[in-house]
Chains A and B, each alone.
Chain A
């Protein structure tokens, strides 16, 4: 594996980088390097073409107007869709998650088309923003330990038949539909409302993305001491609120 390289693409940090979204990029980068991989990271601004040759694409959250602009520019560009058709992996958060679906409600209270890479569509929530710690069980097909995260969003995302929920929440709102689902995934495309950033709280998801990119079943272990300590603390804090 030592000569292998991993191309990590961060989509539109100028528009979609609100809640420490760079953290997800940094965690993937770090954990890939710790496995001896050479990492090429590309930050793509929204006036640049999206490269189609990436292995892992990360998309973060953003305010309502930047979300609309990002969706328009990604649709016009077409690069991300081509990359996914070629088997690329996408991990998206909040506004980025909504953009990957069929449609979402934009800052002008209109419906904006998304990329349709996930079988979901998003609406605006009627109730208060969902803010706080989240705990959930990740889809058993993915065989990962429980999800811990932090959410702060008002959107509601409905899953269509070909999207699977990324997790079932035990605490928190997740997709906001009231059915306990959180996030969505289908093959190599993932979406979540967890920021946190979520991969720092759930390094196993970062490893899953790397494994999918390399098409391997396992990775050499790394020192997860601090990640584990943080996970335990946040799970405790969520289940036993002060």
Chain B
């Protein structure tokens, strides 16, 4: 165990204590878990606190548009085979939330940290990670997050000369562009179903060709690197060519991809694939996602999809028709106030499912489904939508605040 061999400086200790106090006040005032506000207070007292807290940890950072919370959880489970882990498991992924999470793990050996895409470079500079896992980049809440290609560019600049080993998805050209400025990269063929942000070469602007899985730029030669790890159906292939079965309770191809990347990360920390994968089986739900709850005599599966790539992966894991699907979309601050992304999602894939539509922006969704030519029914709220479905399994897919709303309604 590494533990904290050197004590924190008095200033850092004060900052941690002040942060804890602020978090406790925030919790008592009923304003959420308090982790972000605590971290913010602590960072204001000691701006170097994050670096200091991470000093004694073997840190892995996880960033992506989709799957970062789940992957952080899978890696944390795997690394627990080698020692205590501290992690921002609840998804508070900006510097204040990360600081707060680390402050709670003084005895840990490993830090497994989810990082918001926009803060990756900053956090990577502060915490001197041993590894950085990069899963995917695609359009997400454009009115807030800015532009996808610019994000890849910022990752690339921020990662230039990084000493950490970068574990990156070879199947996402934007991720490859971002990672390939780093001296040490482990490529994982983790797949990426969504391609609509990767037609234009991030290096030269030429048109990328995808004759099969092996994408390449016809103009400048930028191409898919040779992966050393790969997701292959229900298996992870390691660099020696051994195939390790993936057994997860989490559904879907995207989660198998997350598991494949997590296995490669675990290996970088000395945890063998078999051990890592066995431990990942224990994960059943991540912050309520994938949970199945009983409500009004039905089994409602809670699925979260925040952007077109996420919706695409979610469509591929739901039960086949006639399983009913409840779709819920909001456009509040955390969702992005712009609903245009609905038009990048291929809702015709839901043909054959009975579809119920709820959420603040149900009319945007109604027009989208009308143009997709699928049948749907607009409902006043979640209870009406559930009541209109026959007993049995219901798939619900929601974006961020709609998901939180639904969890409250069904008592999850």
Contact = CB atoms under 8 A, between A and B. Distances in A.
Interface in A149-204: 150, 152, 195-197, 200
Contact of A152 (B143, B200, B208, B373): B143
Contact of A200 (B205, B371, B373): B371
Contacts of A131: 143, 337-338
B199 interface: yes
A210 interface: no
Given A19-B142, A152-B143, A196-B340, A14 B200 contact: yes
A56 B28 CA distance: 60
Interface in A195-223: 195-197, 200, 223
B366 A26 contact: no
B220 interface: no
Contacts of A63: 147, 149-150
B200 A200 contact: no
B338 A230 contact: no
B389 interface: no
A20 interface: yes
Nearest to B348: A26
B344 interface: yes
Interface in A34-49: 45-47
A22 B370 CA distance: 15
Contacts of A22: 343-344
B366 A23 contact: no
B45 interface: no
A230 B367 contact: yes
A15 B202 CA distance: 11
Contacts of B370: 30, 223, 226-227
Contact of A197 (B139, B143, B207, B340): B340
A150 B343 contact: no
Nearest to A201: B367
A233 B363 contact: yes
Interface in B380-397: none
A13 B206 CA distance: 13
Interface in A54-70: 63, 65-66, 69
Contacts of A69: 200, 205
B352 interface: no
B342 interface: yes
A22 B197 CA distance: 13
Nearest to B206: A47
B313 interface: no
A195 B149 CA distance: 20
B340 A26 contact: no
B324 to A, nearest CB: 20
Contacts of B368: 23, 200
Given A30-B373, A200-B371, A230-B363, A20 B342 contact: yes
A4 interface: no
A120 to B, nearest CB: 23
A18 B140 CA distance: 10
A196 B343 CA distance: 9
Given A20-B340, A131-B143, A27 B371 contact: yes
Contact of B196 (A17, A46, A150): A17
A229 interface: yes
A14 B363 CA distance: 29
A66 B200 contact: yes
Nearest to A68: B205
Contacts of B149: 63, 65-66
Contacts of A66: 149, 200, 205
A30 B371 contact: yes
A150 B200 contact: no
Interface in A96-135: 131-132
Contact of A45 (B199, B339, B343, B366): B199
5 A-B pairs closest in CB distance: A23-B343, A20-B343, A14-B199, A20-B340, A230-B363
Interface of B: 139, 142-143, 147, 149-150, 196, 199-200, 205-208, 218, 337-344, 363-364, 366-368, 370-373
Given A45-B199, A65-B205, A226-B363, 6 more contacts: A20-B340, A20-B343, A63-B149, A63-B150, A65-B149, A230-B367
